[in-house]
Each structure stands twice: as C-alpha cells, then as structure tokens.
Amino acid sequence: MTTFADEFHAKLQVLADSGTLSKTGVGRFDELTAAIAGHLSLSSEDVYMVSCARPNNLNIRLTQGRAQHRHFALGLGVIPNAADVNKVVQGGLKAGATFIGTENAQYDAVAVVVNVSDRWVIRGIVEAEGTGISAKLAADFPDLEVRAVAPSSPLSRSTRRRMALASSTLLPAESTDLSSMVGSFHEALKASQLIFSEEVVTRFCASLLARRFLVLTGLSGSGKTKLAEAFARWVTPTLVTGTPSHSKIIPVGADWTSSEQVLGYADALDPTRYETKPTLDLLLHAAAAGRENDVHMLILDEMNLSHVERYFSEFLSAMETGAAIELYSGPVRDRVPPGLSLPANLFVAGTVNVDETTYLFSPKVLDRANVIEFRADEDQIFGYLENFGAVDLTVLDGKGVSYMTAFVQAAGGDANLEDADREAVAEAFRRVFRILGIFGREFGFRTLRDVGRYVYFHRLLTEPSGWTVADAIDAQIYQRVLPRLHGSRNQLQQLIWALGTLCMNVDLTASSFESDVVEQLRRGGSIASPFDTLEGAAIVKGGFVGANYPMSAEKLYRMNRKLRDGFVSFMEA
C-alpha cells in the first residue's frame, strides 16, 4: 500500500469511529475529497463523495445535493458494512456505469469504497475510456477492479439519455426504441424535483407494459400518486387548455358501493340523457377515432377506501375478457354508446394506503395487477434535504411523447422470451408454485403469463446496462406472489420461511430444495427460519446483498418480524 492509501484509510476510519460515516451530508468528506483531488491532480470541485447503505442507492445519492446538473471527474460511493464485498462492488459498478459519459453526463468515473479486512480501500471503478483515473488509483489499490465504457457509442444508454435531454424540443416522433425510455423519464423526474430510483421507474414501466393495471402501495407521502401523474404528463401530448386531456386523477370515496361512481348512469327521468363521470369521460376520449396510439392514464387515488369489487368489478372483468361493458339499453343517450369496451390504450394505476379506514384487496384484484411498494430508506429521506425544492411537474409535460405510440403498441403486442430466460423463469416459479401448493395458495395461468411478459419488458427497458433475469424474477416474486400473503402466524409462518429459504439461499440446489423444503413440509414437518441461520443473519445484516432474490427476501424478513404480532399482510409489513 502507498502513502496515499494509508492516508485514505486513516481519514475514513476517523469518520467511521466518530459515527458520522453513515450519516447524511457530504461536508464531512471535504478534507478527504481535497486529498483525493490533489493526489489525482484534479480540482477538489471535480470530486464528489457520498456514503450509502447499499449499492443500488448510488443511483440516488450520486444525483442529489450539489451533484445535480453537474459534471464531475470522479464520484465515490462509500458502502459500509458490506457482508459480501464482491457482490457489493459488482452492484456499485453496475449503478455507477449509468452515470458515465461526456458532455452533459455527471461523472467521468465512479468508484466504490468498501472496508476489507478492517481497511478502507477503493475496490472498484468504472470510467469512460481514456479518462485515466483508474491507472493512477491502481498503483495505490492493487486489488482495484476496473471497467471502462465507451460513452460515444450509439448503443450507450447514457449517450441516448444525453441526446434526449440536451434538446429543448421533443425527441423525434414515434420512437420505436423503448430501451432508452426509462433513462429519459428518470432524468426528467429529477429535473422536476421528484426523487425515485431508476430501479423503481423501471419496475413501474415494465409493470404497465406487462398488464395495464398497476397497484402502488406504501408510505403515505412517498410519491405513489406523483409518479403515476408524472408518467402520464411526460408520455402524453402537451396539456390542452391547462388541464391534462389524456389522464385523470380520481379520488375514490368511502361511499363508492357501485360502478355508477366510475361509469355513470342513465337518467331514469330523461330517456335522452346519460350522467357521465370523469372516468367514463376519459374512456370515451381514449376510444375516439385517431387516438388509438395515445396513452391514457386513469389514476385511482386511495382506491381501497371502499371495497374495490363493489365499484370496479365490471372494469376488471372487461379488462380481462375484452368484452364490452353494458352501460344501458335502448336508444343512444347523449354521446355515450350503450356499451363500451376498454380501449387498449388505457392504463390504470391505483394507489393504496393501509390504515383502519381502508380495506384489503381480494385475490380477484391482486391476481390482475403488479403491486409496487414504495419505501424510503435513510439515504433517500435525508438526501432529499440536501436539495430541498418544490416539485414542478410542468417541466415534464409532453417531453416523452415520442415514446407514446411504441409504448401502447408494445403493451398490446406479444412478449416472446429468449430460451434461457424462459428456462430461468420456469425453474424459479416452479419452485414458488410447489411451495404455495403445499399451503393451498397456488397461482394460475394468468399470473404466469404476466410474469413472462414482465420479464420480457424488464429486459427491453434495462438492456444494455447490466440486466439479469434474476432481477426480473425477484421483482415478480415481490410484486405478484407476496401481495397474496395475508393471515395468521399459524397460516403463514412456515410458508414465509419456505419462500424465504428460496429467496435467501443463492446456492439452493434442486435436491436440497426437494428434501429440505418440499418433502419436509409435505410430511407435516417444520423448516427453520432462513433469517436466523449463520448465513442468513449475515445476509440480513448486510442489507440482503448476496441473497438469491434480495427485494423479496427483505420483504419476507419484514413480514416475518410483523408476524410476531400474530397476523400479517403484504401491505402492512
């Protein structure tokens, strides 16, 4: 190790010993960034350093505070308490690669800092080709893993993103390349002061493409409605007369006991009149000639304030069968037809809060939707305070309209998985199905079809920036399987542990799964908690880095803790 490596370790250790290393704020790194800049012959203004709990938070932390709208030579992410250093470094490099580029990109290089054998080191770096920062650091940190990217490549995701944002006008009309959509939308969200990880944005878009009905749950005030509204404003034409013509936010009332609140009703006293509702107005607008490829977004705010089946059952059935909803019989009333099929360009997002005034969803609803949970960790919450500002959705209006036609056509088209992806999905969900079957909670053909579509679109939206089929499978266990779980400790304890064993253990072989999980449960036996084993406890402590399916494993862990109260549901854990 060189003198600089010793100095680097010493300065970080001081922060670690003082307990400030994991706190929010970048000012505590000023002395260290000045030393790094001097060592690399850079200005201290060209180096930006943050700490975060896990690698995927780099996507947020490297874009907050004074990093917004800036181009740095080097960004460093310190990830304390890394249980599996190699996995943490790989995740950090994957996250960092999305920020590498020239011109308007944010960083020429992004480095990952971890603690190895009680010594702070720069263990990985991803940089634009020709930058040369890694060559200097490699002399200080011999185990440094280096990746180089070519930002000028026309296939580079970051380059497509820069081209999109550099223009003050819209992208070329009717872009057929959806692979750059998530990046463009994510950058637009940041410009509007909405803070979401790119991973959440990817899951949001892939879920809508897989099935045009999406449920958003989680903390009150976490941005569920805002994300849906932002997407609608971004991907649809510019506002008409000051109000969105292609989307509506409908607050659901506790007194909604029939579909009349959604679809309106025929006037019993006037045979020529039909009393419409905002939802029906949106449907008629979407069904109008010439708008077949225009995205229309219905946002049902707090949709579980009433029983969803009471006011939305006809809607759900029509969405599944394609049959027309019968509105009335007899002569045509006003401009409303007697029956109406749901337009293929209509997308529905419902937001959910869970408290004593709301209702849980039935299997009929959950079987027809992806459920995305919104949570905020310490990095996100207190990182937001570093750049506190009002949300301005007007900067989004119409900026992504070039993706609109391709989005509608993809949602209504086929989704054919590659053979390797199909085999991976089949193997993973065969195991899930066998576990659920033991407890009488199997899923059907509809779920498996939607899973396949999601994996296809997740890959389309994520490539070429490090996509893995495991990430897509993880999201689908989290969004399609786990929301179905609610019940008592007697009902769910062994089921949660069985699914947790699958999601936690990356080395679970077919024979071990058969003997240690399936046969044990079928014989009426018990399996141990996967969260309390030596390996499991290390994964939990390390923020689930190293788990087979990290998101699902973390959610099952939270549900398992909540089960101590005697009852748990997905939306309450």
Phi/psi-derived region of residue 354, left when phi > 0, alpha when psi is between -120 and 50, beta in every other case: beta
Whether the model pTM is above 0.85: no
Q: In this structure, is the dihedral angle defined by the CA atoms of residues 481, 484, 488 and 491, taken in order, positive or negative?
A: negative
User: How confident is the model at residue 506, as a pLDDT?
Assistant: 85
Residue 67 pLDDT greater than 80, yes or no: no
Q: What is the pLDDT of residue 358?
A: 77
- Verify that 124 and 237 share a domain, yes or no: no
Looking at the predicted structure, is the pLDDT value of residue 413 above 70?
A: yes
Question: For residue 23, what are the CA distances in angstroms to 18, 32, 50, 215, 386?
Answer: 11, 16, 10, 33, 12
By CB neighbour count within 10 A (0-12 exposed, 13-18 middle, 19+ buried), where does 19 fall? Answer: exposed
Nearest CA to 371 among 544, 216, 517, 502? Answer: 216
| CA atoms of 55 and 541, how far apart (whole Å) | 15
Sequence letter at residue 340: L
Q: Is residue 74 domain-shared with residue 187, that is, in the same domain?
A: no
Per-residue pLDDT tens over the stretch 486-503? 999 999 999 999 999 999
When the pLDDT of each residue in the chain is averaged and rounded to a whole number, the result is: 86
User: How large is the average pLDDT for residues 340-358?
Assistant: 89
Structural domain span for residue 98: 3-152
CA distance 302 to 360: 12
Say if residue 242's pLDDT is above 70: no
pLDDT tens-digit map of 172-213: 345 668 989 999 999 999 889 898 989 999 999 999 999 999
Residue 206 vs residues 21, 199, 320: alpha-carbon distances, Å: 36, 11, 19
| CATH code: domain of residue 270 | 3.40.50.300
Residue 167 clears pLDDT 60, i.e. is over it: no
pLDDT for res 243: 58
b/e 44-70 (16+ beta carbons within 10 angstroms → b) = eebbbbbbbbbbbbbbbbbbbbebeee
Query: Which residue, 152, 187, 210, sits at the end of a domain?
Result: 152
92 plus 118 within the same structural domain: yes
> Looking at the structure, do residues 212 and 361 belong to the same domain, yes or no?
yes
* Domain co-membership, 421 together with 405: no
Q: Which two tokens stand for residue 210?
A: 């897989």
- Rg (C-alpha) for the chain, rounded Å, is 25
Q: What is the pLDDT of residue 542?
A: 93
Give residue 573's pLDDT band: very low, low, confident or very high (50, 70, 90). Answer: low
- Residues 357, 218, single domain; the answer is yes
Statement to judge: residues 355 and 502 lie in one domain = no
**Is residue 310 within 8 Å of residue 256, measured between CB atoms?**
yes
Considering the domain architecture, whether residues 69 and 49 belong to the same structural domain is answered as yes
pLDDT band at 376 (very low <50, low <70, confident <90, very high): confident
Is 93:75 a contact under the CB 8 Å cutoff? no
- What is the residue-wise DSSP string for 204-246? HHHHHHH-SEEEEEESTTSSHHHHHHHHHHHHSPPPBTTB-SS
Is it the case that residue 425 has pLDDT exceeding 60? Answer: yes
First to last CA, the chain: 46
Higher per-residue pLDDT: 89 or 357: 89
pLDDT of residue 146 exceeding 70, the answer is yes
Residues 300 and 349 in one domain: yes
Phi, psi of 348 (to 5 degrees): -120, 130
- CA 344, CA 278: separation in Å to the nearest integer? 18
Q: Same domain, yes or no, for 306 and 247?
A: yes
Tokens of 297: 């977004």
* Count of structural domains, the chain: 3
Residue 326 has pLDDT above 50, yes or no: yes
Regarding whether 343 and 199 lie in a shared domain, the answer is yes
The angle, 0 to 180 degrees and rounded to 10, between the axes of the packed helices 489-504 and 550-562 is 150
Q: Per residue in 268-305, is it b (16+ CB within 10 Å) or e — as a string?
A: eeeeeebebbebbebbebbbeeebeebbbbbbbbbbbb
68-106 residue pLDDT tens: 556 788 999 998 887 788 888 888 888 888 788 644 457
Enclosing H/E stretch for 114: strand 107-115
Q: Give strand pairing partners of 344.
A: none
Q: What is the pLDDT of residues 269-293, one digit of tens each?
A: 999 999 999 999 999 999 998 899 9
Which of 383, 409, 435 represents a domain boundary (last residue)? 409
Q: Is the pLDDT of residue 313 over 70?
A: yes
Q: What angle do CA 110, 114, 115 make, to 5 degrees?
A: 160
401 with 444, same domain: the answer is no
User: Is a pLDDT exceeding 90 seen at residue 387?
Assistant: no
Note whether 531 and 560 are within 8 A (CB): yes
pLDDT of residue 1: 58
In the listed set 362, 378, 409, which residue is the last one of a domain according to the structure?
A: 409
Q: With pLDDT > 70 as the criterion, what percentage of the chain qualifies?
A: 88
Question: What does the pLDDT look like over 444-474, one tens digit per residue?
Answer: 999 999 999 999 999 999 976 778 999 999 9
- Confidence label for 156 from pLDDT (cuts 50, 70 and 90): very low
